[in-house]
Amino acid sequence: MSHRLDLYYKDFDKLKFVGQKKAMLEKLEHIEARYEELTNELSAPELIANPSAYAKAAKQLRTLGEIVDKYRQWKTLKQELAGARELIDGSDDDEMREMARAEAGTLEEKIRTTENQLRLLLVPADPNDEKNVIMEVRAGTGGDEASLFANEMLRMYGRFAEKQGWRFEVLDSSPSGIGGIKEAVALIEGEKVYSKLKYESGVHRVQRVPQTEASGRIHTSAITVAILPEAEEVDVKIDAKDLRIDTFCSSGPGGQSVNTTYSAVRITHLPTNVVVSMQDEKSQIKNREKAMRVLRARLQELEEQKQHEAQASERRSMVGSGDRSEKIRTYNFKENRVTDHRIGLTIHQLDLVMEGNIEEIIQALSTHYESEKLKREAVAA
């Protein structure tokens, strides 16, 4: 172990075991060295001449950069703390020593925070975090009120996507006839979409007085949200002979092409019996392209379920059947309150939440599950 590594290792007391301290700091040293290598490689003419390899290296550099910045910040804080402690031990000026003690206390707190952030950054990332998302929203129990709420939730996610600078496109939807939707499928494209939305899968319960309720009684209904990472063609291989593709006339609003041209597409994956229908576009080719994107996402989900059955069972239980009793979150309009039951978070700004201001909820969920993952990593170490 290098002298520099040993200097920091002996004070890295937030980790429980000496072996863990050493392993973590060695890993950080290795990451920093790799970051420097990549920085130099990106200026090499042969890499610049290869766009694919250059993009891959640049992406890795960005990923490592966040860890390296935090690691260098930690080392700077440790050096400043060492200086403050030297002043405490070596100064004859009482006022100076008191100032150094106060500074040391502040630095120790910053170091603890930075160490926690470093440990989280070193937890292996979900390989799907960088991917776009296929979102499926379906009305559950509650009749017309559930379909209305499904439409409002779809709009909420659309507004959130807009605030994030993402592209939000409804690929297909089934209107309920009263301004609601029975189900809808949307594509969300942008930076790290899945990493932010993956915890939105599940049953969302709404409590409010419906407009059609003359007596003013609070009605409870529910919808389900499923978040699927979009699968690329290289992720999921689909054999053409395994597909049955049917075309039919579109239904619902759409102008003269409705019920006159066979623009709607239904694709059935015969080995799994997964069926995807798409009629949003007037072009059969465009509907087919969209249907294939949804099909790949659903097939990848099935494959992940086979490979990780224990995790998949937990994920399926999160989504549930749409029954009111199976809920991850409750939206109470009378109290202007939204509560996430998994982490006990309550926000009394439901009106703002429904306008797409869900960053606080998203961040709280991410922090909670990252911490849980970190605990499991520590136990396994």
pLDDT-based confidence at residue 20 (cuts at 50, 70, 90): low
**Pairing of β 181-189 and β 202-208:** unpaired
Query: How many residues are there in the chain?
Result: 381
Q: Cα separation of 40 and 367, whole Å?
A: 34
CA distance 90 to 139: 70
Collect all residues with Cβ–Cβ distance below 8 Å to 22 and sequence separation of at least 6.
1, 9
In the predicted model, is pLDDT for residue 197 greater than 70?
Answer: yes
Q: pLDDT (tens digit, 9 = 90+) per residue, 52-99? A: 788 888 888 888 898 999 999 999 999 999 999 998 888 888 888 899
CATH of domain 133-234+328-374: 3.30.70.1660
pLDDT tops 70 at residue 366: yes
Distance between CA 196 and CA 366 in Å, rounded? 7
Tokens matching residue 166: 């993402």
Domain 240-305 part of CATH 3.40.190.10: no
Strand partners, 229: 133
Q: Which residues contact 158 (CB under 8 A, 6 or more apart)?
A: 168, 186, 356
Amino acid at 273: N
Residue 346's φ and ψ, nearest 5 degrees, are: -125, 130
Q: Given this model, what pLDDT does residue 6 score? A: 41
Q: Whole-prediction pTM value?
A: 0.65
- Mean pLDDT comparison of 94-103, 112-121, 334-343, highest-scoring range: 334-343
User: With 50 as the cut, is the pLDDT of residue 136 above it?
Assistant: yes
User: Which CATH topology does 3-122 take?
Assistant: Methane Monooxygenase Hydroxylase; Chain G, domain 1 (1.20.58)
Reduce the secondary structure of 265-294 to three states and give it as a string.
Answer: EEEEECCCCEEEEECCCCCHHHHHHHHHHH
Confidence label for 178 from pLDDT (cuts 50, 70 and 90): confident
d(CA 282, CA 377): 50
Contacts of 270-276 with CB under 8 Å at 24 or more apart are 270/242, 270/243, 270/244, 271/242, 272/299, 272/302, 274/298, 274/299, 274/302
The side-by-side arrangement of strands in the sheet containing 202-208 is 167-175, 181-189, 133-139, 219-229, 202-208, 329-332, 337-340, 345-347
What is the rounded (10 degree) CA torsion for 68, 69, 75, 76?
A: 160
Q: Rg for the chain (alpha carbons), in Å?
A: 26
Domain ranges of the chain: 3-122, 133-234+328-374, 240-305
Q: Are 355 and 159 in contact (CB under 8 A)?
A: yes
Q: What is the DSSP letter of 125?
A: P
| Residue 278 or residue 163, greater confidence | 163
- Whether residue 119 is predicted with pLDDT greater than 70 in this model: the reply is yes
Residue 308 confidence (pLDDT): 61
Q: Among 100, 105, 112, 79, which residue's Cα sits nearest to residue 12? A: 112
Helix (H) or strand (E) holding 2: none
Beta-sheet pairing, 345-347 with 337-340: antiparallel
Which position has the higher pLDDT, 233 or 353?
353
Nearest to 266 by CA among 256, 251, 254, 231: 251
> Quick check: 211 pLDDT over 50?
yes
Task: Quickly tell me which residue has 């440790």 as its tokens.
Answer: 78
Distance of alpha carbon 347 from alpha carbon 341, whole angstroms: 12
Q: Which residues are CB-neighbours of 151 under 8 A, at least 6 positions away?
A: 176, 179, 180, 181, 184
Query: How high is the pLDDT of residue 214?
Result: 61
**Position 4 pLDDT exceeds 50:** no
* Angle (deg, nearest 10), helices 284-307 and 309-319: 120
Alpha carbon distance 197, 201 (integer Å): 8
If you average pLDDT over residues 189-208, what whole number do you get?
94
| Rounded average pLDDT over 286-308 | 82
